[in-house]
Homo-oligomer: A and B are copies of this chain.
Amino acid sequence: MSRPTIAGVARAAGVSVASVSRVLNGLPATDEMVERVQRAVAELGYVPDARARSLKVGRTFQLTLAVADIGNPVYVTRMRAVEEVVSAAGYRLVVTATGPEVADEIALVRGMARGYADGLLISPIRVNDDLMKSIRECEVPVVVVGDVAAKAGVDTVRANSPKGVLLAVEHLVDRGRTRIAFLNGPTDTVPGAARAKGFADALNEHGLEPVAVVEANDFTFAAGRTASLELLKSGVGPEPRSGGTTAASRAPGVDAERGAPGSSRPGGRAAAGSSRPGVTAPAPSSRPKGGFDAVVCANDLLAVGLMHELAAVGLRVPEDVAVVGMDDSELAEQSFPPLTSVNLGSAERGRRAAELLLARIEDNDRAPRRIVVQPSLTVRRSTP
């Protein structure tokens, strides 16, 4: 026997389907009616069909959260926050993973027209006009978490990345580090571009020259390691190229634990650093002596990748190199040493975005809002 429908319940209770529906939806009915219906429902184990219901009422009471990479720990914080406000409002949250491609995201946004959910929360990594167009034309309300053009006329909640990078740089300067490198993610992404600019501005503001800027292929641990290798090989390592005692020589018993990939390179490549693909170093004349003593990383995964490579060549964090990450994800506290990280308000952004989405579902005519969440710095042990 198949699943009971409202008709079956009505028959079993000896009432009309309309009455069953009313009781189920808490509309006025006599006590006896309620009683009879509830008994029948319990007896048959009836559960209303959400599809039929939503087909009729035009709402699914589901909200979709689209994330590009479930593997990034920054999303778990966000998901938890979103889930909280969404379920408090009586909605179900469903999470779907889009790939890293813009096309995947466009397909997802377009697909919302199929009626899967009443609204969409999306944080695009890469953005182009087609994506913005599909978002604007989406059948259901969309709020985007991330920095997209204001003219888009869509609700957004974004972080203040430049300010975040500034906090990182200020903290480092505060702790006496001025030879600062930057390990970024791909700059053809929204966060990558924002952070690149933020870093340039922040250094500028402090009258500093960037020691090196490396761009990882992706915002992942693996990409972070690869890029860090480049950073170390690029000739702007922390060892001074002439005399001076640096921390590196004071790290006994740590640097010998593993073959140090960075140090097994052919010697004398220092000068070639700036011509390496993916690595941008200032002209030798303006480059500070002694390479970097601190690295700002565009996210925590990259930072952890970097710390692994630093350890591999016997450099200590924070003594030799201070490292600060961004996102302040769970990984930051789990890493060793625990990572000083810029909290870009991932949870807060999720919460606000969810609220915006709910508000727009209530009233689709309200003017688009653009919320920006301010960053803060969580100091842990990866900086002095």
Interface set of A (CB-CB < 8 Å, partner B): 3, 45, 47-52, 54-55, 60, 62, 70-71, 73, 76, 79-80, 83, 92-97, 110-111, 113-116, 137, 139, 221, 252-253, 257-258, 301, 304-305, 307-308, 311, 330-331, 333-336, 338, 381
Q: Do B96 and A93 touch across chains, with their CB atoms under 8 A apart? A: yes
Min Cβ gap A164→B in Å is: 22
A336 and B335 contact, Cβ closer than 8 Å, known pairs A71-B76, A110-B47: yes
Q: Do B60 and A70 touch across chains, with their CB atoms under 8 A apart? A: no
Bound-complex Cα distance A334 to B79 (A): 22
Q: Which residue of B lies closest to A93 (CB)?
A: B96
Bound-complex Cα distance A253 to B97 (A): 45
Bound-complex Cα distance A361 to B80 (A): 31
Q: Do B139 and A3 touch across chains, with their CB atoms under 8 A apart? A: yes
Cross-chain contact of A331 among B79, B96, B308, B334 (Cβ < 8 A): B334
Residues of B within 8 Å of A139, CB to CB, are: 3, 47
Min Cβ gap A57→B in Å is: 11
Residues of B within 8 Å of A3, CB to CB, are: 113, 139
Residues of B within 8 Å of A50, CB to CB, are: 114-116
17 contacts between A and B (CB under 8 A): A45-B137, A47-B110, A47-B114, A47-B139, A49-B55, A51-B114, A55-B55, A62-B116, A71-B80, A73-B73, A93-B96, A95-B96, A221-B330, A221-B333, A257-B381, A304-B334, A308-B336
The 5 A-B pairs at the shortest CB distance, nearest first, are namely: A50-B114, A47-B113, A94-B94, A336-B336, A95-B95
Per assembly, the copies of the chain total 2
Bound-complex Cα distance A381 to B48 (A): 54
Q: Do A311 and B336 touch across chains, with their CB atoms under 8 A apart? A: yes
Q: Do B114 and A48 touch across chains, with their CB atoms under 8 A apart? A: yes
Q: Do B221 and A334 touch across chains, with their CB atoms under 8 A apart? A: yes
Q: Do B330 and A71 touch across chains, with their CB atoms under 8 A apart? A: yes
Min Cβ gap A154→B in Å is: 18
Residues of B within 8 Å of A52, CB to CB, are: 55, 115
Bound-complex Cα distance A71 to B347 (A): 13
